[in-house]
Structure 1
Amino acid sequence: MSLHAATVHVIYDFICPWCWIGEEHLERALAASNFATDRQVVFLPYQLNPDMPVQGMDRKTYRSGKFGSWARSQAMDAQVTHAGKAIGLQFAYERVEKTPNTLAAHRLVWREQQAGSDAAFLVKAIFKAYFGEGRDIGDLKVLADIAAEAGLDREAIVDFLNTDEGTAEVLKLEAMTKASGVRSVPSIQIADDVISGAQPVEVMTRILRRNQAA
């Protein structure tokens, strides 16, 4: 994948809590470093569960199977909740009933970026809706509500989501990220630098400043 030094690429998925934390760290690092780009942050999709049924799965059932037990899943949730609280992100796992299919949410972000808009506001809104409010972001009506609350035209969003528009493009972008060697998220790419995981703000700031001076 060819990257321009002035562009920050964020590879992420909406069911990854560390991606929400990493996005918040990046936002703070961009402000701290005065990174002179057109403030261009491009979000690239990476579905952690590409085979998830369209309707999603009961979260307790899914997580218990994936991690061996519900108790282990809850311990992991507690860890990330603590990390989020330290930077003002409120996780409400007790309200999350489903692990959703995230393709439609990625399509929605793709649509906004295709229009030339900064999609960070929409990404943040979807993360908050899922992790902070327990909403089913795999449900098209819920996604349309979230988009409308974020200031987008709900009717236009409904029309878009009820088509397959953007599906092939999102899957192609996902294939590109995997072909470039990405195996986990969040992964933030700035020119030749790759920040893996939700690294501290100071680490991101240092890398941004280094690229600023290049």
Structure 2
Amino acid sequence: MSKLRIDIVSDAICPWCWIGKRNLEGALAELGWEAELAWHPYQLNPEMPAEGVARAEYRAAKFGSLERSKELDAQVTAAGDAAGVDFRLERQARTPNTLNAHRLSLLAQRHGVQQPLLESLFRAYFHDGEDIGDLAVLARIGAEHGLDAAEYLASDEDREQVVATDASFRQGGISGVPSFALERHLLFSGAMPAAQMAAAFRRGEALLREKGLLKD
């Protein structure tokens, strides 16, 4: 079978996107697929100030109270444990603007290192509690993957492209992440367990072949 393309719409501050990434890896292993993966930008908080905000302040405003925020954090942590993802949400001090993280992801895609770089972004934010809106943090993560990212991040290169791509997904009806597409056909949203994800991809592949949209 030829290599299939899977597109993922994601945000680096979405905990379910890290869980979804891990479950996707499990699903592909179960399917035995060597897929071409491409990750695309979606900002959960497109109006977030460039410097971000204090996480406690942001979470209390979004969920009504810090107590409710902690309950949701516990749910995410438990889901992460089930997927093999180690969340340390208590280490987070800020909720960042993710525009520059998406730019770094795009740069990494061009250099063939998007998958490992995204893993590093997720880990930096959700495990290490780093501010992934900070250009120095992003430049360091980029350098860890062989990218000379400092000058790129200091410029406006690809800023409009990231904003336009984000807007196009919203206009196309995507309102939550992660969202997954097979051969550019949207299949599902959400970080379902690996076995369920594999079944969804299997059904999607069969349907595309049935409609003549996928060939060997």
User: Secondary structure at the residue paired with 1:50?
Assistant: coil
- Residue 87 of structure 1: how far off its partner (Å): 2.2
**Are 1:127 and 2:119 matched, yes or no?**
no
Where do 5+ consecutive residues of structure 2 fail to align?
210-216
1:50: how far off? 0.6
Give the conservation status (yes or no) of the 8 Å contact 1:96–1:135. Answer: yes
Residue of structure 2 in register with 1:152 after alignment: 146
State the TM-score, normalizing by the size of structure 1.
0.90
Aligned to 1:181: 173
Deviation at 1:207, TM superposition (A): 2.5
Name which structure has the greater RCO, CA cutoff 8 Å, separation 6+.
1
Task: Note the 1:1-214 alignment, pairs <5 A.
Answer: 6-36=4-34, 39-115=35-111, 117-149=112-144, 151-153=145-147, 156-191=148-183, 192-213=185-206, 214=209
Q: Distance in 2 between matches of 1:16 and 1:52?
A: 14
Q: Tell me, what secondary structure is at the counterpart of 2:139?
A: helix
User: Could you say which residue in structure 1 is the equivalent of 2:212?
Assistant: none
* Aligned residues of 1:47 and 1:174 also touching (Cα < 8 A): yes
Aligned-residue identity in percent = 43
Is 1:35–1:212's contact at 8 Å kept on the other side of the alignment?
Answer: no
| Partner Cα distance (2:32, 2:79) in 1 | 25
Give the aligned residue type for 1:208. F
Q: Distance in 2 between matches of 1:185 and 1:98?
A: 20
User: How many residue pairs were aligned?
Assistant: 204
Shift of residue 174, structure 1, vs aligned partner: 0.8
Q: Any conservation in 2 of the 1:35–1:208 contact (CA below 8 Å)?
A: no
Point out 4+ residue stretches in structure 1 off by more than 2 angstroms. 207-214
The superposition leaves residues 74-127 of structure 1 with CA deviations (integer Å, 9 ceiling, x where unpaired) of 100000001101222111111100000000000001112234x15111111100
